[in-house]
């Protein structure tokens, strides 16, 4: 589904100002390792088992869960607000916004993990923690164990979920480098975090509408061979009823690795936001480093995921532990 560009660009500018007011400085307040060691010892094991089964059956779900962890944290902080369903009082939550619908996947895996955890420890484990555990566990599987990290937990679930905030805070695929840097900066993330987390585009799929301008409107820096392949897979004018998906990484589409950066250097990436990483000397240098130092990128990706998982954490004072991840208590 194509973004409404002029509207989102304006909302992004508003978001930069608004974040300066609302941002809670990536605090880890209330989080700790082993948070559930007494209240629900098997919590992480249960989530890992559910995620493992789903991702081994469909690796694309793993990519969706990694993306979900990112999309949740960039709107209202890491509080599972992306999971909330529409209600009569709020008919347009985050999950129905263009950045998330219909492309975001993995909701049913979070539901299954939550149900399993609730059977073991009712009312204890937050949906927000499950989302971050699931993103971590999917990373482990898709990287064949090379990306792994411990996560602090103790996040509380939010009660607010608005389509407009998803439009304002989630960087779209047409952003240029300045816009990307600004959108990460207001969430307490650095230029290096931007480049490192962009590497998640080595797994998953994209709707044709998210990059159709790059293969239909010359000039474009996209590799001509890739453009030809994409034109065969995508309609000339994608719309809601005719918007197929293609793999983000044509080389290793189901493996979380540093192939993405090699694709950037070869101009074999789909989004303007990917190609934008070559438009400054600083980010281009980081792309080259990540392309040729796979182990270093894996470690940096793990650190960046941990840092992202600490954005604007809610506590018992402004959050809750939902019984059902789709609705507030």
SS3 46: helix
Residue 257 is assigned to a ligand binding site: yes
329 contact partners, CB below 8 Å, separation of at least 6: 320, 321, 322, 323
> What is the distance between the terminal CA atoms of the chain, rounded to a whole angstrom?
32
Residue 88 is assigned to a ligand binding site: no
For residues 78 and 132, the answer to whether their CB atoms sit within 8 Å is yes
Residue 315 is assigned to a ligand binding site: no
Residue 279 is assigned to a ligand binding site: no
Residue 81 is assigned to a ligand binding site: yes
CA 205, 136, 202: angle at the middle one, nearest 5?
30
Residue 319 is assigned to a ligand binding site: no
Rg of the chain in Å (alpha carbons): 19
Residue 252 is assigned to a ligand binding site: yes
Q: DSSP string of 136-155?
A: HHHHHHHTTTSS-----B--
Residue 207 is assigned to a ligand binding site: no
H-only helix segments in the chain? 5-22, 43-57, 59-73, 107-120, 127-142, 163-169, 177-185, 191-198, 212-216, 224-233, 259-265, 272-275, 281-292, 294-308
User: Does residue 267 have an active-site annotation?
Assistant: no
3-state SS string over 102-132?
CCCCCHHHHHHHHHHHHHHCCCCCCHHHHHH
Report the half-sphere exposure of 175 (CA within 13 A, side-chain side).
27
Residue 139 is assigned to a ligand binding site: no
Give which of 276, 279, 61, 283 is closest to 172, Cα–Cα: 276
For residues 231 and 215, the answer to whether their CB atoms sit within 8 Å is yes
Q: Which of 6, 71, 207, 267 is catalytic?
A: 71
Residue 202 is assigned to a ligand binding site: yes
| Residues catalogued as catalytic | 71
Residue ranges of the annotated binding site for Ca(2+) are 72, 75, 77, 79, 81, 94, 202, 249, 252, 257
Residue ranges of the annotated binding site are 72, 75, 77, 79, 81, 94, 171, 201-202, 249, 252, 257
Residue ranges of the annotated binding site for substrate are 171
Residue ranges of the annotated binding site for heme b are 201
């Amino acid at each position: 589904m194509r973004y409404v560009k002029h509207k989102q660009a304006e909302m992004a500018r508003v978001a930069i100002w608004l974040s300066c007011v609302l941002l809670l400085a990536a605090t880890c307040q209330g989080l700790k390792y082993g948070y559930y060691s007494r209240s629900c010892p098997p919590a992480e094991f249960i989530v890992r088992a559910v995620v493992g089964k789903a991702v081994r059956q469909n690796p694309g779900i793993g990519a969706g869960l990694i993306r979900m962890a990112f999309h949740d944290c960039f709107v209202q902080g890491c509080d599972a607000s992306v999971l909330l369903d529409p209600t009569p009082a709020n008919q347009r939550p985050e999950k129905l916004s263009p950045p998330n619908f219909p492309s975001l996947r993995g909701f049913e895996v979070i539901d299954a993990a939550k149900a399993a955890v609730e059977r073991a420890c009712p009312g204890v484990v937050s949906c927000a923690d499950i989302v971050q555990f699931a993103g971590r566990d999917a990373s482990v599987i898709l990287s064949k164990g090379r990306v792994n990290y411990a996560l602090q937990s103790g996040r509380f679930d939010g009660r607010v979920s608005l389509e407009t905030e998803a439009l304002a805070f989630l960087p779209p695929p047409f952003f240029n480098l300045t816009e990307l840097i600004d959108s990460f900066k207001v969430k307490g993330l650095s230029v290096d975090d931007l480049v490192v987390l962009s590497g998640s585009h080595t797994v998953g799929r994209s709707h044709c509408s998210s990059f159709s301008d790059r293969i239909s409107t010359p000039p474009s820096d996209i590799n001509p061979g890739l453009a030809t392949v994409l034109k065969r897979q995508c309609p000339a004018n994608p719309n809601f009823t005719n918007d197929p998906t293609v793999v983000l990484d044509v080389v290793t589409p189901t493996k979380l690795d540093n192939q993405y950066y090699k694709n950037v250097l070869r101009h074999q990436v789909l989004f303007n936001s990917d190609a934008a990483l070559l438009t400054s000397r600083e980010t281009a240098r980081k792309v080259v480093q990540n392309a040729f130092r796979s182990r270093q990128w894996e470690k940096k990706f793990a650190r960046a995921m941990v840092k992202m998982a600490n954005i604007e954490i809610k506590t018992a004072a402004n959050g809750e532990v939902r019984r059902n991840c789709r609705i507030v208590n």
